[in-house]
Amino acid sequence: MKIFSQTPVRIGLIGGGTDVNPFAADFGGKVFSLAINLYHQVSLKPIKEEKIYIEALGKTIEKDLKKDLIYGKEKDFDLVYAIINYFKPLIKSGFKLKVEFQGESLGGLGSSGSAGVAMIAVFSHWLKRGLSRMEMAYLAWRMETQELKWSGGKQDQLAAAFGGINLLTFGAKESIGVIPLFFPKDLIKRIRKWMILFYIGGKRHSGKLQKNLSAGMKEEEKIEALKGLKRGVNKMIKAWKKEDFNLIGEILDEAWDFKKRSNPKIANSRVNDLYELAKKNGSRGGKIMGAGEGGHMFFFCPPEKQDKLEKVLRKEDVKKIDFEFDFNGLKVWEK
């Protein structure tokens, strides 16, 4: 028997950062989330020997089932170790665990949250825990923020678990809401045609950037910027309903300024230059994905101008990433 899981990553269209504490707990957060069809796939195969074999990130690691997995020695595997340690009291045999990502690169698309949910799902299925999508998303977030002490919000895990186009809400005492946003299929297709995603490369330090964001949440100017991002979520939903593509671009462009004010370190000179270059070549608005500095950038651009935009950005060593929306979220199956 082999157990498989699959989870999407996401485009946080607007509101990212408001899902991070202490802002979310103090003021409430909102994110307009789009799950996309770039997937983490995880497989788990039980074996008789008391060994753990982990294959991920181009490496294979062998561990003793009876020994706790220690964080920090192989930092890229810390999230894998945290999830295995959580389920270890229930595990009676060895296993082989494989984690793969189908996209170009992981940066800025909520990849750790997606991978966390996918890994938890195979263990929940194998060990007959019966965890719900919400429970798996919340546990994946806890593994990152409480077990490993990483800074971050909950939007990535929720998008991975539920998929779809959603309004995500966050409040005091870790309250979470996932509200599906229903739009006509033809409208979704037209809006999707205006969206273009690029991989820009660069080194990212997501944890450090998120810590910088959290630390800034005590400063009035940064709090006001986050409130501006939060207000933009409702504006964006209304713009979609009105099919006002120009307004969608304007809201994204305004949100870009709020985003940089909330955490100035998200945009280095390359990111700023690419954003301005994109605007000069058809983009109505856009953003750097995730915590910033590098990874992926998203733009909202009329379809007839996208070939020109892609050609110009390709000269800057940028690669277009094909995607569609994902409406399934987490999938688990056996073979």
For 271-286, give the DSSP string: HHHHHHHHHHTT-SEE
Of 154, 137, 201, 194, nearest in space to 12 by CA: 154
Please identify which residue in the block is written with the tokens 């608005």.
285
User: How does residue 204 score in pLDDT terms, banded at 50, 70 and 90?
Assistant: very low
Query: Residue 325 has what DSSP assignment?
Result: B
User: In terms of residue numbers, what domain contains 202?
Assistant: 185-321
Q: What is the pTM of this model?
A: 0.94
Per-residue pLDDT reduced to its tens digit, 100-119? 998 766 678 999 999 999 99
Claim to verify: residue 132 and residue 279 sit in the same structural domain: no
Claim to verify: residue 179 and residue 222 sit in the same structural domain: no
Q: Could you tell me the CATH number of the domain that includes residue 114?
A: 3.30.230.10
Per-residue pLDDT reduced to its tens digit, 231-248? 999 999 999 999 999 999
Residue 270 lies in a domain: yes
More reliable by pLDDT, 114 or 206: 114
Claim to verify: residue 286 and residue 297 sit in the same structural domain: yes
Distance of CA 315 to the CA centre of its chain: 27
Cα gap 173→171, rounded to integer Å? 7
User: How does residue 203 score in pLDDT terms, banded at 50, 70 and 90?
Assistant: low
Query: Residue 317 has what DSSP assignment?
Result: T
pLDDT of residue 135: 98
Q: Any idea how long the chain is?
A: 335
Claim to verify: residue 163 and residue 16 sit in the same structural domain: yes
Q: Identify the domain boundary among 123, 153, 183.
A: 183
Number of domains in the chain: 2
Claim to verify: residue 169 and residue 311 sit in the same structural domain: no
Of 13, 25, 101, nearest in space to 57 by CA: 101
Per-residue pLDDT reduced to its tens digit, 17-42? 999 989 999 999 999 999 999 999 99
Claim to verify: residue 87 and residue 150 sit in the same structural domain: yes
Q: Identify the domain boundary among 183, 216, 251.
A: 183
